Structure 1
């Protein structure tokens, strides 16, 4: 997998935000790097074929996107369940840039952050929901960083 320059520059010990990217050589594949109390956890994702046909909300950052801005991603469960083909799926920002989207102060035509929340509240919510997703995939108890 090709790592974007920004990801290569990350210090995993200093990771305080969720990082996500799509593989430019295999665009159906992506990665979420999630900070947890036990250190960063990487989850490999596969995007479902097709795009959303209506505005949709990301389950992790809760940003509402215009058509095509959210995609269904699946991750194989850890252990024997994953080897048997069991997956966990959820709708996530198609560009996997949730951390950037929660920092957006104002709505645009394509992105609308959760109204009535601050950037810090949205960042905390993203970290909590991403840690819950990691826990579902790995079978571990959620342990958000903080």
Structure 2
């Protein structure tokens, strides 16, 4: 089974039709999901208000469909997943419909996340820049582990 098929099947909070209409970037289609050990996120190029958060998993990854708020945060903000602080416009409120009957009735879970969903790259930043400041006092591996834990908790809240 291809990575693209596995990712679409992993989407826990949308219909098969929604999953099939999602645009996956070329680099995502080529991911080795069996070796994936990072949280991966991307925005749909054809519908930028749609996004996906993909978590490594065994035997299969887990994923949720997200919706972006129309405006990014206008001031300095911190991503709730990777805990990177961004300059203005660097974080956005993303919401995910809950799985099942609750989601069909409109129940959602939301959190502020890096606007580009680049948490995977951001936790690897060695030194703070004017636009990007990773959590201080933690190693890259500690930041990666924290990202996985917080993302798993968010996805768990969506699919419970």
TM-score by length of 2: 0.84
* Residue number among 101, 110, 122 corresponding to 1:89 in the alignment: 110
SS at match of 2:34: helix
What's the RMSD between the two structures over aligned residues?
0.9
Q: Which residue matches 1:42?
A: 63
1:109 aligns with 2:109: no
Cα shift at 1:115: 0.6
Q: Which residue matches 1:26?
A: 47
TM-score by length of 1: 0.92
Unaligned runs of 5+ in 1: 140-146
SS at match of 1:12: coil
Query: Hey, what's the Cα distance between the residues in 2 that align with 1:37 and 1:107?
Result: 33
1:52 aligns with 2:86: no
Query: Hey, what's the Cα distance between the residues in 1 that align with 2:143 and 2:83?
Result: 8
Query: Hey, what's the Cα distance between the residues in 1 that align with 2:102 and 2:36?
Result: 29
For this pair of structures, how many residues does the alignment match?
139
The runs of 4+ residues in structure 1 deviating greater than 4 Å are: none
1:69 aligns with 2:114: no
Query: Hey, what's the Cα distance between the residues in 1 that align with 2:101 and 2:125?
Result: 40
Cα shift at 1:37: 4.5
Unaligned runs of 5+ in 2: 1-21
Q: Which residues in structure 2 correspond to 1:105-144 (within 5 Å)?
A: 105-139=126-160
